[in-house]
Amino acid sequence: MASESEKSGGAEDLPVIVCGGGVIGCALAYFLTEKKKRVVIVEQERIAAAASGRAGGFLALDWCDSDEVGPLARASFRLHAELSEQLAKEGHDTLYRRVDTLALSIRGDAPLPEGAAKKGSLPAWLNRGVRGVSKLGTQETTAQVQPRLFTEALFDVASKRGASLRKGSVTGLLFEDSSSSSAKGEETEVAGVLVDGEPLRASQVVLAMGPWTCKAAEWLKGAGSFPRVTGQRYHSILMRPKEPITGHACFCNDEGKGEDFEIYPRSNNDVYVCGSPDFGPLPDHAGLLDACVEEERVALIKALSDGVSDALRECEVEERSCCWLPFVPDNIPMMGKVPGVRNLFASTGHGCWGILNGPASGLAMAELLVDGESKSLNLHPFSPSRFATTIK
């Protein structure tokens, strides 16, 4: 198992500082406080302000089996089921449920012939435009959760155990005397962060700011090796049909429009639809996300959903949103100690599977910080050190 952490002796009275209040940071806080560690989350806006409050929340057991993410996804899928029960005992309904998942091929938006849905095993609400259907997952292998509710629940439980939220913007890292470290041939040591320019000391610091983790490269100033972190934007809409529809997650390809989109009905009768990815410039902070919503992309997603269902066609758009999903150069999450710097860790780059992989990422990172290694997951494939000789 992974073993790349140096324990920070002599700083037991200081908290672990987690930079970022999304699902990755809140899951880490949840498991750190379970291990009796003091935790401070530093967040400029609010818990789940960015992608963790705006994502779809689709969960899959085995969709990542073809690469290094497979064991992480499987472990996290199981943890989601356990956490839904544990969080419910704390009074939190995260809208977790198992779902069937379909792949739909769309051509045009004409109504389907009478009885076609039943004959093709389609849910009755998918009554337009569908020309092909296949099953991608069953209730054994796919599920969903409401991301904002889930992330807020993790933080609420962590806060009851002593975790705290520090509102403010992380503007830099606080270093111990680098000259003495250099003279001894030792790594530079991080001693905390700067929050709006003010020092906040820590025993360990974890960078979990999603796409905004890109700021760390500047903060390090050559002290350690850090890869390029980027973001891909997705738009989404939320609708509420007049009548409840079945809980089928749908991955759709509109052949005529050349667009892929996803439909996630939720147990509270919300229907979340997302698509139209692009690489628009990342705003300075999550508080600017609403201003980044492009109405043309919202209209496109609404038109795509209208093309498969009268129930959705009759809906008004209740909420419109966009968010940036974080990626590192090889599209494999980056979790572990930042090379060249003591007491500094990163957990980011989870891409479109951030909600799925949040729990197992949080558990593994908590084990790394507290015990010096992760026993629940081999973190070696995710180590930031894999970029040390290739990313400058």
pLDDT in tens, the chain (392 residues): 443 333 434 456 899 999 999 999 999 999 999 999 999 999 999 999 999 999 999 999 999 999 999 999 999 999 999 999 999 999 999 999 999 999 999 987 777 766 555 555 799 999 999 999 999 999 999 999 999 999 999 999 999 999 999 999 999 999 987 544 443 446 899 999 999 999 999 999 999 999 999 999 999 977 767 899 999 999 999 999 999 999 999 999 999 899 999 999 999 999 999 999 999 999 999 999 999 999 999 999 999 999 999 999 999 999 999 999 999 999 999 999 999 999 999 999 999 999 999 999 999 999 999 999 999 999 999 999 999 854 43
Torsions phi, psi for 14 (to 5 deg): -95, 150
Pick the CATH number of 16-91+146-228+330-387 from 1.10.357.10, 3.10.20.30, 3.50.50.60, 3.40.50.620: 3.50.50.60
Task: Say how far apart CA 245 and CA 4 lie, in whole Å.
Answer: 48
pTM, two decimals, is: 0.93
Convert 359-384 to b/e letters by CB count within 10 Å (16 or more is b): bbbbbbbbbbbbeeebebbebebbbb
Q: How many helices (H) and strands (E) does the chain have?
A: 10, 20
What order of strands is seen across the sheet that includes strand 344-348? 164-167, 39-43, 16-19, 204-207, 344-348, 334-337
Among residues 245, 240, 239, which one has the least CA distance to residue 125?
245
Task: Say how far apart CA 16 and CA 19 lie, in whole Å.
Answer: 10
Topology alike, domains 16-91+146-228+330-387 and 100-138+231-327? no
The ranges assigned to domains in the chain are 16-91+146-228+330-387, 100-138+231-327
Pick the CATH number of 100-138+231-327 from 3.40.50.2000, 3.30.9.10, 3.30.70.240, 3.40.50.300: 3.30.9.10
